[in-house]
Structure 1
Amino acid sequence: MADLAAAERLVEIGSTRGWCEQAAEVLREALAPRGVACWSTPAAARAEVDECLTEGWLCLGLANADELLGWVGLRPLYEHTWELQPLVVRPSAQGRGVGRRLLAHLERHAAARGIGAILLGADDEGGETSLSGVPAATFDLCEQLRVLRSLKRHPFVFYQRCGYRIVGIVPDSGTGYADIWLWKPLV
């Protein structure tokens, strides 16, 4: 499952300017339909790509010929737990296992570096879960975890299928929406 599909190759995003430009484009394309505003401009998307290329961090992509299908970044958070941000797949390549393959490659690279676990936040900016509209002042974590549902293909379901477990919820990350935190040990 984690092997490359026919004609795909794993690329380091920082290896060429072309991959960097395509990575910014994929970031914007993939998140625009979900209403994610933070990387909606070319400059903001490119700044995120540039940040992901910080020395020592991981930034991998899957390409088919000269087209970047998707990419993923991993940055230090704690000594043995790093943060995944972002994982994006070009809309025309979604539903074909690209995200799953990218994640598996990233996990193998991370484990080989001695990283013990991956943590990620899956924001609910577009009202895609049952957390949407729950006031932070009355937020009951146990109750919200019990009734948590995806309403519009929220990514937390994908991550759960890939072995990540929900370890917490931030009821309001400062912009009025919840952030679902997922974690996976690599060893």
Structure 2
Amino acid sequence: KECLSEDRICRIAIDENDYVVGWVGGISQYGGNAWELHPIVVDIKHRGKGIGRQLVRDLEEQVRNRGGITIYAGSDDENNMTSLSNVDLYDNLLDRIRDIKNFKGHPYEFYLKLGFKIIGVIPDANGLGKPDIFLGKRVVDWIQ
């Protein structure tokens, strides 16, 4: 029911048997200028087939059609998957973001492949040493 409100976008991917294999949602923020990508889910049996990429691209188009400018997503690191976990991010934060390493398949790299950039981190968002990594992407052309 929430998905049907005007400030939301919900899109699904279905397979050849009409089974839902993926879902992406967007939530309008900042007066519609920015949209939070939440959630994105792809059935484990269908991962690695481009479904997530297609869902995000579709969401980008939907956001652009509604006058949105930016999409952003939070990607928690609760399980020590990156070099940003279990360190004091209040010390040299920008250097740590620049030098981020992916140890265990953290999804931030999925977003980077789609043109997103790391735009920030909330240190300790999920407990001490467990940050939330924020990624964003402008979906319209920059005007100079």
- State the TM-score, normalizing by the size of structure 1: 0.69
State how far apart, in whole Å, the 2-side matches of 1:66 and 1:78 are.
35
Correspondence for 1:73: 25
Runs of 4+ that moved beyond 3 A = none
Superposition deviation, residue 175 in structure 1: 2.6
Q: Which amino acid in the other structure matches residue 161 of structure 1?
A: K
Query: C-alpha offsets along residues 41-66 of structure 1, whole Å, 9 cap, x if unaligned?
Result: xxxxxxxxx54x15010011100123
Aligned match for 2:41, one of 88, 109, 117: 88
More helix per residue: 1 or 2?
Answer: 1
Give matches, 1:28-39, under 5 Å: none
Matched, 1:114 2:67: yes
**Structure 2 contact 84–97 (Cα < 8 Å) conserved:** no
Correspondence for 1:166: 118
**Structure 1 contact 72–84 (Cα < 8 Å) conserved:** yes
Structure 1 unmatched runs, 5+: 1-49
More strand per residue: 1 or 2?
Answer: 2
Superposition deviation, residue 88 in structure 1: 1.1
Q: Which amino acid in the other structure matches residue 87 of structure 1?
A: I
Aligned match for 1:60, one of 2, 5, 11: 11
Correspondence for 1:140: 92
Structure 2 unmatched runs, 5+: none
Matched, 1:102 2:55: yes
Aligned match for 1:149, one of 92, 101, 104: 101
Query: C-alpha offsets along residues 20-74 of structure 1, whole Å, 9 cap, x if unaligned?
Result: xxxxxxxxxxxxxxxxxxxxxxxxxxxxxx54x1501001110012311110110
Aligned match for 1:124, one of 65, 72, 77: 77
- State the TM-score, normalizing by the size of structure 2: 0.88
**Higher deviation after alignment, 125-134 or 92-101:** 125-134
Q: Which amino acid in the other structure matches residue 60 of structure 1?
A: R
SS in 1 for 2:55: helix
Q: Which amino acid in the other structure matches residue 119 of structure 2?
A: V
Q: How many residues align?
A: 136
**In the superposition, relative to structure 1, how do residues 174 and 152 fare at CA in structure 2: closer, same or farther (>3 Å)?**
closer
